């Protein structure tokens, strides 16, 4: 059964993503707790404020996209709930903290993302990157796949894969590239290139992830 997600990643066009950029701070330094709103106090964090990225996760969330453009996020998703909609999966490796921006509880940090989206999903299995790629290879749907990095200003060189049609071969190529970029960004020299951004919103009841 599908399960609604309490975490909603931001699109690149969201004002919270494009309008706020922070700097890394000392994880052991003093922090001010807001009144149930998370780090940043009642008025929230401001661009340029220091943030301590003290949480580290690799996580995947699934989503559906309606014809109107409305996106719904799920911790797990099956085809019955995706009927008549585009479906996708966003896999994140990230270092982040929970804070408050404009009264909204958010995750702020650095992330490497692998995203795949298809026009439909017909399998009875759970919606996943591998299962979407398999259906695309069989010609059951049209799919797109991309890798992006947020909150990191360093060069990636030839680690980003070349665009290609989605199938099980390109899925493997992208997964290997995701792993290489993840090691590069979160490796010993990566922190010097961090410029944290708002990664996503937390719905009520999500707490500190």
pLDDT of residue 85: 84
Q: How many CA atoms lie within 13 A of 161 on its CB side?
A: 20
Segment 89-128, tens digit of pLDDT: 999 999 999 999 888 899 999 999 999 999 888 877 788 8
Q: 82 vs 65, 86, 123, CA distance in Å?
A: 9, 7, 11
CA distance 158 to 169: 18
pLDDT tens, residue by residue, 147-202: 999 999 999 988 999 888 898 899 899 999 999 999 999 998 899 999 999 999 99
User: Cβ of 167: how many Cβ atoms within 10 Å?
Assistant: 18
Q: How far apart are CA 162 and CA 174, in angstroms?
A: 9
The single residue listed with the structure tokens 């999903």 is 121
Residue-wise pLDDT for 51-87, tens only, equals 999 999 998 889 988 888 888 888 888 777 777 789 9
pTM, rounded to two decimals: 0.82
The answer on pLDDT for 45 being more than 90 is no
17, containing H or E segment? helix 15-18
Closest Cα to residue 94, out of 54, 45, 63? 54
């Amino acid at each position: 059964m599908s399960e609604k997600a309490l975490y909603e990643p931001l699109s690149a066009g969201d004002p919270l993503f494009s309008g706020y950029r922070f700097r890394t701070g000392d994880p052991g330094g003093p922090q001010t707790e807001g009144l149930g709103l998370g780090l940043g106090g009642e008025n929230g964090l401001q661009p340029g404020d220091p943030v301590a990225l003290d949480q580290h996760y690799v996580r995947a969330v699934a989503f559906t996209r309606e014809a109107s453009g409305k996106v719904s996020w799920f911790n797990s998703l099956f085809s019955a709930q995706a009927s008549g909609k585009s479906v996708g999966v966003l896999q994140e490796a990230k270092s982040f903290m929970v804070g408050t921006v404009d009264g909204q509880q958010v995750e702020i940090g650095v992330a490497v993302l692998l995203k795949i989206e298809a026009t439909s999903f017909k399998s009875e299995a759970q919606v996943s990157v591998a299962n979407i790629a398999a259906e695309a290879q069989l010609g059951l749907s049209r799919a797109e796949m991309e890798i992006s990095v947020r909150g990191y200003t360093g060069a990636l060189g030839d680690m980003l894969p070349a665009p290609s049609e989605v199938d099980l071969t390109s899925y493997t190529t992208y997964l290997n590239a995701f792993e290489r970029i993840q090691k590069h960004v979160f490796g010993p020299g990566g922190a010097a290139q961090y410029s944290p951004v708002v990664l996503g919103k937390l719905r009520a009841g999500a707490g500190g992830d």
